[in-house]
Amino acid sequence: GAGVSQSPSNKVTEKGKDVELRCDPISGHTALYWYRQSLGQGLEFLIYFQGNSAPDKSGLPSDRFSAERTGGSVSTLTIQRTQQEDSAVYLCASSPEQGDQPQHFGDGTRLSIL
């Protein structure tokens, strides 16, 4: 597609439920990133994919968070047993592997935990 696509755009769920957030990167981009941004805060790095592998998952805040990427394209971020502090905007970005190219962000998923 023309840009990074994320779905859903908004998600409201009850505490304790599991959620899945999806990211479809720009075609041909091998690098994919997940970030979290709480209201009025900066970007918090979660995980980085190069192809299907995740060389850096150091930002995942707990073992309730996991992510996978299949076929070197679409990625899914899963949050199990959601807590209220998980409420934030989850942003996905992608970039080409070659060279030192900038990231391009999707519109994000606004997650609200009741």
Partner 1 sequence: QKEVEQNSGPLSVPEGAIASLNCTYSDRGSQSFFWYRQYSGKSPELIMFIYSNGDKEDGRFTAQLNKASQYVSLLIRDSQPSDSATYLCAVRTGGSYIPTFGRGTSLIVHP
106 binds partner 1 (CB under 8 A): yes
Q: In what order do the strands lie in the sheet with 65-69?
A: 5-7, 19-24, 75-79, 65-69
Task: Kindly determine how many residues on this chain lie close enough to bind partner 1 according to the rule CB under 8 A.
Answer: 20
Give the contacts of 65 (CB within 8 A, at least 6 positions apart): 46, 77, 78, 79, 80
CB of 102 to partner 1, least distance (A): 5
Q: Which of residues 25-44 bind partner 1 (CB under 8 A)?
A: 31, 33, 41-43
- Applying CB under 8 A, which of residues 88, 108, 111, 113 lies at the interface with partner 1? 108
What are the tokens at 88? Answer: 């934030």
Interface pick for partner 1 out of 23, 79, 95, 111 (rule CB under 8 A): 95
Binding mask 71-90 for partner 1 (x = CB under 8 A): ------------------x-
Which residues are CB-contacts of 48 (< 8 A; sequence separation ≥ 6)?
31, 32, 33, 34, 54, 55, 56, 57
Using CB under 8 A, which of 45, 57, 64, 76 touches partner 1?
Answer: 45
At 84 the three-state DSSP class reads helix
Residue located via tokens 């941004």: 37
Q: Which residues bind partner 1 (CB under 8 A)?
A: 31, 33, 41-43, 45, 48, 50, 56, 89, 91, 95, 100, 102-108
